[in-house]
Amino acid sequence: MCMTTQPTHMTMTQQAQMSPYLLVLTRQRDELLARIAQQRGGQLSRAEVAYTHFDHLQEDPGQMNNERDTEFAINENETAQLQQIDDALLRLQQGVYGFCLECGTTVSEARLLAMPQTTRCLNCQTAFETAHAAH
């Protein structure tokens, strides 16, 4: 797309401060951290619930393992999300935020506001998901 409209005279700090995405990303990051903290804090009570629930299934320890795997999977997923948000904040600081990593086009504002940690434009994201769904 047209790259010449990018304000090149501004410093990176000015761009980051002016960006509405900084606010969205920071808010999402806070929410995510709160959710992770909540999950970790709630681990004991969840384990107790699982223990009570599977008390009569002690001959099948696989049930307990499944429960634990789910717990780790949730944390992994949210840690990955946190990583994506941190990456986006870094790109914002570097003044390279909002460009598709695949094709270099400018990602639409609506898409960035809805999903500020995205690294692909809608076309590339669709192609990426289609390719992954095929496997």
Residues that bind Zn ion (CB under 5 A): 100, 102-103, 121, 124
Residue 99 Cβ vs Zn ion, minimum distance, rounded to whole Å: 9
Residue 34 CB coordination number (10 Å): 10
Q: Which is nearer to Zn ion, 66 or 108 (CB)?
A: 108
CB 101 to Zn ion: min, Å: 8
DSSP assignment string, 88-101: HHHHHHHT-TTB-T
Q: Least distance in Å: CB of 122 to Zn ion?
A: 8
With the C-alpha atoms ordered 126, 95, 84, 19, is the resulting torsion angle positive or negative?
negative
Q: For Zn ion, which is the closer residue by CB, 29 or 100? A: 100
Q: Using alpha carbons, select from 109, 104, 96 the residue that is nearest to residue 120.
A: 104
For residues 78 and 102, which CB has a smaller minimum distance to Zn ion in the complex?
A: 102
